[in-house]
Amino acid sequence: MTQFSMIDPFGRAIDYLRVSVTDRCDFRCVYCMAEDMTFLPKRDLLSLEELDRLCTVFIEKGVRRLRLTGGEPLVRKNIMHLVRQLSRHLKSGALQELTLTSNGSQLERFAAELADCGVRRINVSIDTLDPDKFRVITRWGNLDKVMRGIEAAEAAGLHVKLNAVALKGFNEDELPEMLRWAHGRGMDMTVIETMPMGEIDADRTDQYLPLSLLRAQLEQQFTLTDIPFKTGGPARYVEIAETGGRLGFITPMTHNFCESCNRVRITCTGMLYMCLGQDDSADLRAALRASEGNELLSTAIDEAIGRKPKGHDFIIDRRTNRPSVSRHMSVTGG
């Protein structure tokens, strides 16, 4: 097996793959999607077997951690078949970690099986603990169901991390309470700056809360200490003395973290995006379907990695009132 054959033009080794297994979701979070979304026709999707083949080639080329995302990964039909298939790479030791990012709505159903497949941790996205506000932000979500999902995950021994997008005027006052709640349950938490991806019904300038500001607000009631803790992602962590837990900051807007980017993303149609915030992509579905062997696919991946850009240039301000990239986060997976 080739070790870390994917090195980009800036010397970054690519060992992390995020796979959006569906662009569909059972929520319509207001900063993520428009209410009336047009989803891809099912015939354009890679089959679960094709997704498995694609992931396997990436693993052979040096991917060590793989995250399934979406859309909502757990609404893809027969998704556990793919998880079960991919788990063979955990057993063989080729893959160090298989994880998911989920809205938690289907976790009650799948948590035990995920754990059985070797999934050890999972990120659950929740932006508020208030059931009414939860319904407003997700448009369609039910917080109770998500809570039952988290309980099922904990009962199955999965380590849950809470992800919250920091939204001005929506949850900024509630984030300290969410932090206490998460840490009280032994969960880490990460806050994320909203990114200008895809047309939504709202104005992003109204939603954008720089995390530098949030950090200053948190410092009025908590003692934050920077720690070198890493989960392989772009979050920079602090420890909170009062709760004894960790809080991660993902700051694509106020602090560009591209210099240490170790990841690429594939969509459910087999498009490879080398950067979340740029439009360049490579069509791996064509390479996948052109032959039964994996040589063409491997060459297409190498060519794409050879063009991985230095970084994104997200901007949110009133003059630039357009998304930096036209695709929604649900296409490439957050």
Q: Using CB under 6 A, list all residues that contact ligand SAM.
A: 25, 29, 31-32, 69-70, 72, 101-103, 125, 163, 165, 192, 194-195, 197, 329-330, 333-334
Helix ranges, the chain (H): 48-60, 79-92, 107-116, 131-138, 143-155, 175-184, 204-207, 211-218, 284-290, 295-305, 329-332
Residue 4 beta carbon to ligand SAM: minimum distance, rounded to whole angstroms: 27
Comparing CB distances to ligand SAM, the nearer of 103 and 267 is 103
2, 14 Cβ separation under 8 angstroms: no
Residue 298 beta carbon to ligand SAM: minimum distance, rounded to whole angstroms: 28
Residue 317 beta carbon to ligand SAM: minimum distance, rounded to whole angstroms: 15
The 97-102 sheet, strands edge to edge: 224-227, 236-240, 245-250, 188-193, 159-166, 121-125, 97-102, 65-69, 16-20, 263-266, 271-273, 281-283
Comparing CB distances to ligand SAM, the nearer of 158 and 301 is 158
Q: Torsion angle of alpha carbons 310, 231, 142, 109, nearest 10°?
A: 120
Comparing CB distances to ligand SAM, the nearer of 191 and 305 is 191
Comparing CB distances to ligand SAM, the nearer of 99 and 262 is 99
Comparing CB distances to ligand SAM, the nearer of 124 and 274 is 124
Residue 306 beta carbon to ligand SAM: minimum distance, rounded to whole angstroms: 28
Q: How far from 184 is each of 76, 159, 188, 263, CA to CA, in Å? A: 32, 14, 10, 32
| First-to-last C-alpha distance (Å) of the chain | 29
Residue 71 beta carbon to ligand SAM: minimum distance, rounded to whole angstroms: 6
Which residue's structure tokens are 């459910």?
Answer: 268
Residue 15 beta carbon to ligand SAM: minimum distance, rounded to whole angstroms: 21
Q: Torsion angle of alpha carbons 163, 20, 259, 127, nearest 10°?
A: -20
Residue 123 beta carbon to ligand SAM: minimum distance, rounded to whole angstroms: 6
> Beta-carbon neighbour count of residue 323 at 10 Å?
18
Comparing CB distances to ligand SAM, the nearer of 88 and 135 is 135
Q: Supply 280's token pair.
A: 């360049």
Residue 268 beta carbon to ligand SAM: minimum distance, rounded to whole angstroms: 12
Which residue's structure tokens are 């109770």?
Answer: 144
Comparing CB distances to ligand SAM, the nearer of 57 and 68 is 68
Q: Which residue is nearest to ligand SAM (CB)?
A: 334
Residue 167 beta carbon to ligand SAM: minimum distance, rounded to whole angstroms: 10
195, 204 Cβ separation under 8 angstroms: no
SS3 of residue 121 by DSSP? strand
18, 67 Cβ separation under 8 angstroms: yes
SS3 per residue for 130-184: CHHHHHHHHCCCCHHHHHHHHHHHHHCCCEEEEEEEEECCCCCCCHHHHHHHHHH
Comparing CB distances to ligand SAM, the nearer of 19 and 305 is 19
